[in-house]
Amino acid sequence: MNNGDIVRIDYTLWTIEQDKEEIYDTTIEQIAKDNGIHDPNRRYAPEVIILGKKMVLEALEEEIMKAEVGKEYDVFLDPSKAYGDRKPSLLKIHSYAEFEKNKITPEIGKFVLINGMRGKVVSISPGRILVDYNNPLAGKKLHYKFVVKEIVEGIENKAIALIEASYGLDINEFKVKDFDDHLEIILAESCKYRNEWISAKYYIVANLRDYTNKEIRFIEIYKPKEEEKKTEEKHTDEKQEKIENKN
């Protein structure tokens, strides 16, 4: 494989502490269920990676590039090859006023975004809140088991893969057509209602231009009013269901 290749991989990740492995993440739904880490709001599927774009750890990417499609591999990474050592300087104390300014309710274990940094609330005491901005995997030895499921070929398939990587919702509703002078992408209905699509669109265009010199067109289809209303109600119900599942 080469830089620029788009691949789909299945993986399972364990952390290793004192020779004991604990599962941390997986793209495979049954493994997540069997190990008590299943997230009902997550879409379980092979992850799309553009090689050479630093979408995964460099040491892991090197192994992926040497892999054969369909063959399972194990990779063990020390912290120096993974997320580095934990840094005490990334433990920061915040006031309640800072949390109020950012409209955040402090809760132990909650991930927060403050001043452009993402961290985890680790303790709350009178007058101060301690947030850990270290990567959750910093200081840990990692074990990846991965399989390259596919090297994505063809501009239409690459477009779908990039949509999957950046948006990840309602993938089966997108349609891509490759014409002589342009590439046409018919959008899923959910693109009209989700803010995530705005940033995803620019990611897709920026990366698709590496694989085609054709004009890229996004097509939105608006159905008759009554049918459109039913679709809006459907997406509202789905959003409410996700909120209830989280609670």
In the chain, the percentage of residues whose pLDDT exceeds 90 is: 74
Q: Supply the pLDDT for residue 194.
A: 87
| Sequence letter at residue 163 | I
Band (pLDDT 50/70/90 cuts) for residue 228 is: low
Give yes or no: residues 30 and 148 share one domain. Answer: yes
Write the pLDDT tens digit of every residue in 149-158: 999 999 999 9
Give yes or no: residues 79 and 176 share one domain. Answer: no
- In this structure, how many other beta carbons lie within 10 angstroms of the beta carbon of residue 212? 14
C-alpha 101/C-alpha 51 separation (Å) is 40
Give yes or no: residues 30 and 145 share one domain. Answer: yes
Write the pLDDT tens digit of every residue in 186-207: 999 889 888 899 999 999 999 9
pLDDT above 70 for 83? yes
- In this structure, how many other beta carbons lie within 10 angstroms of the beta carbon of residue 136? 14
CATH number at residue 8: 3.10.50.40
Of the CA atoms within 13 Å of residue 150, those in its CB half-sphere come to: 11
Structural domain boundaries, residue 240: 153-247
CATH number at residue 96: 2.40.10.330
Query: For all residues of the chain together, what is the average pLDDT?
Result: 91
pLDDT above 90 for 131? yes
Q: What six digits make up the tokens of 113?
A: 């975004």
Give yes or no: residues 118 and 215 share one domain. Answer: no
Give yes or no: residues 72 and 93 share one domain. Answer: no
CATH number at residue 159: 3.30.70.2210
Give yes or no: residues 93 and 48 share one domain. Answer: no
The mean-pLDDT minimum among 38-42, 44-48, 154-158, 180-184 falls in 38-42
Give yes or no: residues 93 and 188 share one domain. Answer: no
pLDDT above 90 for 126? no
Give yes or no: residues 126 and 71 share one domain. Answer: no
C-alpha 61/C-alpha 59 separation (Å) is 5
Residue found by looking up tokens 């993986």 in the block? 11
Give yes or no: residues 93 and 163 share one domain. Answer: no
Give yes or no: residues 164 and 179 share one domain. Answer: yes
pLDDT above 70 for 238? no
Q: Among 152, 180, 199, identify where a domain stops.
A: 152
pLDDT above 70 for 236? no
Q: Number of structural domains, the chain?
A: 3
pTM score:
0.79
Give yes or no: residues 189 and 146 share one domain. Answer: no
Give yes or no: residues 121 and 48 share one domain. Answer: no
Whether residue 174 contacts residue 186, with contact meaning beta carbons closer than 8 Å, is answered with yes
